Structure 1
Amino acid sequence: MTAMTSSPGASRNDRPLLNRRLAEFGTTIFAEMSALAVRTGAINLGQGFPDTDGPEQVREAAVRALRDGRGNQYPPGPGVPELRAAIAAHQERRYGLAFDPDREVLVTAGATEAIAASLLALVEPGDEVIALEPYYDSYAASIALAGGTRVPVTLRPGDGPRGGAADRRFSLDLDELRAAVTPRTRLLLLNTPHNPTGTVLTREELAEIAKLAVERDLLVVTDEVYEHLVFDEGGHVPLVSFPGMRERTVTIGSAGKTFSFTGWKVGWITATPELVTAVRSAKQFLTFVSSGPFQYAVAEALALPDAYFTSFLDDMRAKRELLASGLTAAGFEVYRPAGTYFITTDVRPLGESDGLAFCRALPERAGVVAIPNAVFYDHRDQGAPFVRFAFCKQTPVLEEAVARLKSL
Structure 2
Amino acid sequence: MSGTTVTLPGGRRLRLAGGTGHPRPDGPPRSRIAYAAAHVVADPGADNTPGTSAVLDWDRTLAFREHLWSYGLGVAEAMDTAQRGMGLDYPSTRELIRRSAAQARAVGGRIVAGVATDQLPPGPATLAEVTAAYREQLADVQAAGAVPVLMCSRHLAAVARHAEDYLRVYDDLLTAADGPVLLHWLGPMFDPALTGYWGSTDLDLAADTVVELIKAHVSRVDGIKMSLLDAGREVALRRRLPAGVRLYTGDDFNYPELIRGDDSGHSDALLGVFAAIAPAAAAALAALDRGDLTGYDEIFAPTVPLARHLFAAPTWYYKTGIVFLAWLAGHQDHFTMVGGLQSGRSPAHLATLLTLAEDAGLLPDADLAAARARAYFTVAGVAQ
Indicate the TM-score class for this superposition, using the shorter chain for normalisation. Answer: 0.3 to 0.5
Larger strand fraction of residues = 1
Higher helix content, 1 or 2: 2
